[in-house]
Amino acid sequence: MNNSLRQLDLNLLVTLDALLTEHSVTRAAERLHFAQPTVSLQLARLREFFGDPLLLPGPRGMKPTARADALREPLRLAMAALQQAVAPSSPFDPAQSSQTWRVAAFDYSEYTVLLPALAGLRQAAPATRLAVIQTVPAQVAKKAEQGDIDLAFLIGEEAPPDLHRRLLFAERYVLAGRAGHPRLKRRPTLAQFCKLEHAIASPDGGGFHGVTDTALAELGVTRRVALSVPHFLFLGAVLANTDLVAMVPSRLVEGNAALQIVEPPVDVPGFDMLMLWHERVHRDPAHRWLREHMAQSISQHR
């Protein structure tokens, strides 16, 4: 900060603004609700700081010096900026906003969180824009801190601990295959389940082991995973067009007439879907509105 500014009581600038507007110590004191001697003392301090008399006695009040005239417009702009900076936050009006929001989401959260919220968002805030950013979970906290993203949607075990969070829903796994699959007419036994050819979504790419395999190992059995794909949505197309089956989050496949859904014969732990954001936007009215919209959209689609 400029050293001269450090030496100045910013309250004196409020007084100077009033003096340059009123051209009178008396009227400036009335405007500021100060005693006249107080304003006279502050004018003396201003004169010392600027090295200029600023206001000189005249026949019709006080006349500003050239230095005071030069200060008038930048001071007016500075006072307006300070007033705006310290003013209470105004309520957010989504209908009038042209905000651009950036959210980090992956194929699962795009489908289960963003898609249900999108129509309502376009209706309530038609001039806003939404950018969906893909990043690795390890980068989410840094990007949120830097302002590169406003929200992130991650499962609980991947969520950084230093971000605000809100639970959107708890997810569970079901067994899915194509409609009419001969092995899924009823819930398979554990032995039948293990003999099926499985597909798996491996976000990291190329993995053939998941939470289902961990649960099976605890029972002393294994399954055959014939296909590993990087995205859940591609996995859905695979299931609809082959005899492969997969353990998938229920929200991805519910209501899909192309698929047959049954309960698996093994208890596979589900996961929590979280909405995450940084402290820097925690109290921002626009951000709070967006968070509420996302959460309400989820609750209305169940």
d(Cα 206, Cα 213) in Å, to the nearest integer?
A: 15
List, in order, residues 6 or more apart from 299 with CB less than 8 Å away: none
d(Cα 229, Cα 124) in Å, to the nearest integer?
A: 36
Structural domain boundaries of the chain?
3-86, 110-167+275-300, 173-269
| Phi, psi (degrees; rounded to nearest 5) at 178 | -65, 150
Mean pLDDT for 145-152 is: 93
pLDDT digits (tens, 9 = 90+) for 166-179: 999 999 999 999 99
64 within 8 A of 23, measured Cβ to Cβ: yes
pLDDT digits (tens, 9 = 90+) for 194-228: 999 999 998 776 789 999 999 999 999 999 999 99
Q: Where are the alpha helices (DSSP H) in 110-155?
A: 115-124, 140-146
- Hey, what CATH topology would domain 3-86 get? Arc Repressor Mutant, subunit A (1.10.10)
Per CATH, 3-86 and 173-269 having the same topology is answered: no
Q: What is the 3-state secondary structure (H, E, C) of 217-264?
A: HHCCCCCEEEEEECCHHHHHHHHHHCCCEEEEEHHHHCCCCCEEEECC
pTM over 0.95: no
User: What local confidence, expressed as pLDDT, does residue 114 receive?
Assistant: 96
Considering the chain, what percentage of its residues have pLDDT values greater than 90? 69
d(Cα 62, Cα 20) in Å, to the nearest integer?
A: 9
Mean pLDDT for 253-263 is: 95
Give 110-167+275-300's CATH code, choosing from 1.10.10.10, 1.10.600.10, 3.40.190.10, 2.30.30.280: 3.40.190.10
| Phi, psi (degrees; rounded to nearest 5) at 164 | -65, 150
d(Cα 22, Cα 19) in Å, to the nearest integer?
A: 5
Mean pLDDT for 233-239 is: 92
List, in order, residues 6 or more apart from 144 with CB less than 8 Å away: 150, 152, 163, 276, 277, 278
User: What local confidence, expressed as pLDDT, does residue 1 receive?
Assistant: 42
User: What local confidence, expressed as pLDDT, does residue 89 receive?
Assistant: 65
Please report, as a single letter, which amino acid is at residue 268: V
| Phi, psi (degrees; rounded to nearest 5) at 240 | -70, -20
| Phi, psi (degrees; rounded to nearest 5) at 66 | -60, -35
In the CATH scheme, what is the code of domain 173-269?
A: 3.40.190.10
